[in-house]
Structures are given as structure tokens and as C-alpha cells.
Amino acid sequence: MQTQRTTDEFRNEPFTDFSKPENAEAMRDAIEQVRSELGREYKNWVNGEWITIDSKFESHNPANKDQVIGIFPEVDDDAERIVGNAISAASKAFKTWKNVPAEERASYLFKAADIIRERKHYFSAWMIFETSKTWAEADGDTAEAIDFLEFYGREMIRWSQPQPVTKIEGEDNALEYIPLGVGAIIPPWNFPLAIMVGMTTAAIVAGNTVVLKPSSDSPTIAVKFIEVLEEVGLPAGVVNFVTGSAATGEAMVTDAKTRFISFTGSKQVGLHINEQAAKTREGQIWIKRVVAEMGGKDAIIVADDADLDAAAEGVVQAAFGFQGQKCSACSRLIVDEKVHDELMEKVLERTAKLKVGEPTEGDTNMAAVINKSAFDKTLEYIKIGESEGGKIVAGGSGNETQGFFIEPTIIDDVEPMATIEQEEIFAPVLAVIKARDYDHALEIANDTEFGLTGAVYSADQARLDRAKNEFHVGNLYLNRKCTGALVGVHPFGGFNMSGTDSKAGGREYLLQFMQAKSVSQKV
């Protein structure tokens, strides 16, 4: 297998074209392979050994809620001891891993990328079952995981090279980046391979060691990645894998030996982690660093001069892709009232064509939301939206007979500052707000505590340029949808309550897992 990428240029992994019969057949084969492996029991991975405990929990298929995907140790019941052991293993491994040359650390990422690329549909199929991703969404998730491995490996090699400093006579001066220490990695369920892989491998390629706790809604795809790390021979203790819920995460965050926390998830949990990380505990000799991506209330603005067909297509894709369960999803459509009726006709026409069904079927556009809690919360938000004056013009109901299915829902005539215009729902619910003009549209878009993604459709370059200056989001898209960030192309992260503007997939991302050391020698 190829393991060195020191000279070749990074390129994004291509998405699979499932209109080609051979690709569709390969995905169907992978789905059947994964189907034959469902319901197995897995262990945690600490210090290079597979361990388990008596207490267990199950991961279920959101589209078939009685189907068990995997069975895992429930560390919450003994979190302090088990997490403590994992952090101790990581601390021991850090002493040697930090001195491994960057090229060698990167080679493990490149080997892992090769394996996942070779088994791409297999990894995608696990997400189809475990998180109810459609074929295209799962394929995109797997491609992004490969991208993170390839990109961060190359970036670490780049950062390890001599850094520019001003020369002065009589001294040799150098600046180098060194790792932080042991990190807690707490990824989300919605990009259960890509974000988990990116967060984990960015930390370790920079020379750190970590304890990884995946979401309890998506532990199986995470353990499949751990199996890849074992296959490539990653040294013991560099990555330690534990499964559990809140108590497990809390033990990771509060341990005095934890140097940094990398988190992606809800605003509520992110703020709690930030608060706990700020407290200095006995034996702690550093200020913990927090890297957090916490979601958004993202808006697409459609001006009165926009290409309405392109805008409608972008809105529907961004609002309902993966059931709206993306922190970048379009949950607010802010449209100039002069073109509201014409645009909505096009949006509703496209929404009506979406097929809600089993994610294992290749022609499904939308499947189930992640769990019972999300299902109930979404239906409650729909009721709130209606009670506050909104008009349901599409969808509005759900069915949980077999899985947690909710129709693509559009609520029109939503007022600025209404509950569903302000709070993140994380589901296939689109709030439509009329703006008097472009000034008003920008005002509405910015009147939120979040600042992750946004988009503007307009034929006027002056308006687009104004959005560059005034639309306060970390990722702004002009005349295209607000989802679909590519590694290396669209460094991803937002402002305000959307997090620490981490810019995952960007050239500076690895700096969050390193610290700069200046060395001067008199000559």
C-alpha cells in the first residue's frame, strides 16, 4: 500500500456515481454484508487491548427501531476508573509518540485512508443502518473521512518543516510546533465517520494521544475505524476507545490529566464542557484548551433578483439532506416578499418529489431522524411553529410505527424572533420568513445567537459583496447551498454560539492541537 504523500498534492476523494449499475450493485453487496454482521457485541480498546465490562447498551437502527446494530460496554457505570485507565494509557503513550517524526505519524493516516478507500461502501453501509443515512449522504461521509486522513497527514508534514522567523546576527533562532498532551475526543452522531475520524486523527498526527468516546447513537461505525487503526499498527495507547454516555464524557473532560477537549455537538453540552474545562483541578498544571463546534440556525437569503430555480434547488437540498440533521443545514429561508410566492411554488414542487423511505434503498432521498427523542422534539417544534402564527405548507407529521420518520416540513409566514426561527431543531423543518427588502433580509439573518453557515442568492455582485462584509457566519456561500463543505476547500467552523470557529479541514486546524516553542542559540 502507498503510505507516503510527501510530494503529491491533496485532492478530494470523488463521490460515487450510483447511477452506474456496477456502483449500485457494489453498494447493495456492502449493505447485505453489513446486514449479516448486525447485532454483534463489541469491546472497548484501551492501551492496545480489547476490554469489556458487564454493563452494556445497544445501538439501534433509527429506520427500524427494533433492529440492533451493535452491543457495547456502558462505561457510565464505572466511568472514573475506566476513563482513568484510558487516560493513564494515553499519558504513557504520549511520552514516546510525541517524539515520533511527523512523516511517520502521518503514514498511519495514509495507511488508514487506503484501507477505508478500498472498503468505502462497507463503511458507508454501516452508517446507512446505524444513522439512517441515504446512499449519497453515507458515501459523502466516507469520502470526507478519507479527505481528513489525507489532508491532515500532509498538513502535519508541512507544519513540521522549518518555520519562518526573522534573522538577526549572532543567533540561530527557530520556531517549532510541539503537541499538547492527552486529549478527550467527543464527536457527534450526524457525521459519525467523517467528523470522528477528523477530530481523532488531527490530534494524533500532531503528536498527541487521545481518549475517544463516540456518540452512543453511533458507536459501531467508530469501532470499525478503531479496527482500522489496529490493522495499520498504531502504537498502543495513542488512541483509546471507550463507549458510554454523559458520565463517561464528564470523566474525560474533568480529569486533571486531560490537556484539551475536542467536541462537536449541541450548544448546551458544548457550553457545559467549556465551563468544566475552565475549572482547575488538583494536580492540573495547565489551562485546558477547548475546540468546540456547536451547531447553528443557518439561513439562505433569496433576493428579488435571484435565479429562483437555482435558489429553490439549493434550499431543498440544504434543508432536507440527511433529514436536516446537519449543523450547516438550511433551517431558515429568508426571502424577499416580492418573489416569495414564485419561489415557494418552486420549493414546494421540489419538496413534494422527495422520497421518504428506507435508507437501504438507492432511490430514497430522506430517511429517519436519529432517535425517539429527536422525533418527539421535532413534532413539538412543529406545533410551536404553528401556534406562533406559522402556516404549515408541506409535511407537518411523522410516523414511528417502524422507525422515526418525519415528513419534510415547511412552515411559512414565520415571524422574525419566533421560536422556530431562533432555536436549532436539527430535523427536516424549514422556517420561511418574508423580508421587506435586502437590508431587512440581512438583518433577520444576523439576528441569532449562532453564526455557522449562510447563503445568499442574488444576481447583483454588489449585494453579494455586501454579504461578505455583513453576513456574520464562519462559512458563507454565494449562489449555492449552505451545506456540503469540502476538506481543504471550505475550512469549516462558525462564530458566536456556533463554537470556536475551529475551521476543520483548513490549513490552520492542526494548530489547535499544538503549541509553539521558540529556541534561540547564541553563535
Active-site residue, from 130, 144, 150, 293: 293
Phi, psi of 106, deg, nearest 5: -65, -30
Q: Is residue 112 part of a domain?
A: yes
* One domain, residues 387 and 263: no
Residues 446 and 508 in one domain: no
- Is residue 107 one of the residues assigned to a domain? yes
- Cell numbers at residue 261, please? 477537549
Kindly state whether residues 382 and 454 are assigned to the same domain: yes
Residues 175 and 307 in one domain: no
In this prediction, the residues of the chain whose per-residue pLDDT falls under 70 are 1-7
b/e sequence 72-111, b meaning 16+ C-beta within 10 Å: bbbbbebbeebbbbbbbbbbebbeebbeeebbebbbbbbb
pLDDT tens-digit map of 172-194: 999 999 999 999 999 999 999 99
Taking the CB of residue 202, how many other CB atoms lie within 10 A of it?
A: 30
In the structure grid, which three cell numbers stand for residue 445, read together?
Answer: 439573518
> What local confidence, expressed as pLDDT, does residue 3 receive?
47
Task: Tell me, yes or no, whether 144 and 284 share the same domain.
Answer: yes
Q: What is the pLDDT of residue 7?
A: 66
- Residues 304, 288 share a domain: no
Q: Are residues 316 and 257 in the same domain?
A: no
Same domain assignment for residues 240 and 340:
no
Catalytic hit among 327, 330, 407, 482: 327
Are both 366 and 217 inside the same structural domain? Answer: no
Q: Do both 288 and 303 map to the same domain?
A: no
Active-site residue, 482 included: no
Domains of the chain: total: 2
pTM: 0.97
pLDDT tens digits along 7-45: 689 999 999 999 999 999 999 999 999 999 999 999 999
134 and 270 both lie in a single domain = yes
Is 327 a known active-site residue?
yes
> Is residue 52 assigned to a domain?
yes
In a domain, 497, yes or no: no
**CATH number of the structural domain spanning residue 318:** 3.40.309.10
**CATH number for the domain that contains residue 127:** 3.40.605.10
Q: Which candidate, 15, 89, 8, 13, places its Cα nearest to that of 51?
A: 89
Q: Say whether both 379 and 239 belong to one domain.
A: no
Q: Is 4 within the bounds of a domain?
A: no
Distance (Å, whole) CA 87 – CA 44? 13
Q: Could you tell me the residue range of the domain that residue 401 belongs to?
A: 298-486
